[in-house]
Amino acid sequence: MKSVFKPVLLAGLMAAALSTLAQPGPGTGPGPVAGAGGPSASPEIRERMQARAKRHMDRRAADLKAKLKLSAEQEGAWNSYVAAMQPPATFPHPSRAELDKLTTPERLDKMRELRKQREAEMDKRDDATRAFYATLNAKQKKVFDANTGRPFGSRGDRRPR
């Protein structure tokens, strides 16, 4: 009588090897930037996502304003704050072809220049936040602190603090 263990084992190993070969290799799928809102997205998709983000920002600003119960004297500071927090319409982002033409030191200088521009934008937002925060009373400051600064709020961020 023949043992069936050896042929069954070989058949199983061959099936596993063939299924491994059928898997796509690295680099065949879209990268992390090629998603819905990345630079390679179509203009329609990008515009739709930007409009959605703007609606979300507007809704959050309206909710925060209602919670703060601002006085008439604080309205000007609020309007300046909201205007400063709006993202720029277009942000300079060099194309891959443009970067490929540069040498490594030139590419590093270009990226440093873009980083400084982004940092200047963030500094403007910081200054606007500080100026608005200075106009708030103690109760409003507590409300502002509780509703800003944490992008996930109490729902999405489950990590212990």
Question: Which of 4-8, 50-54, 65-69, 107-111 is predicted with the least confidence, judged by mean pLDDT?
Answer: 4-8
Checking if the pLDDT of 151 tops 80, the result is: no
In this prediction the pTM is 0.62
Task: Tell whether the model's pLDDT for residue 149 goes beyond 80.
Answer: no
pLDDT at 99: 86
Please report how many Cα atoms fall inside a 13 Å half-sphere around the Cα of residue 101, on the Cβ side.
4
pLDDT digits 0-9 by tens, 18-40: 776 666 666 555 555 455 555 56
Amino acid, res. 128: A
Per-domain residue ranges of the chain: 41-147
When the pLDDT of each residue in the chain is averaged and rounded to a whole number, the result is 80
Mean per-residue pLDDT, 62-89: 90
**C-alpha span between 87 and 50 (Å, rounded):** 10
- Residue closest to 73 by CA, chosen among 129, 25, 134: 134
| Number of neighbours of residue 49 by Cβ within 10 angstroms | 14
The pLDDT, as a whole number, for residue 63 is 93
Kindly tell me if the per-residue pLDDT of 44 is higher than 60: yes
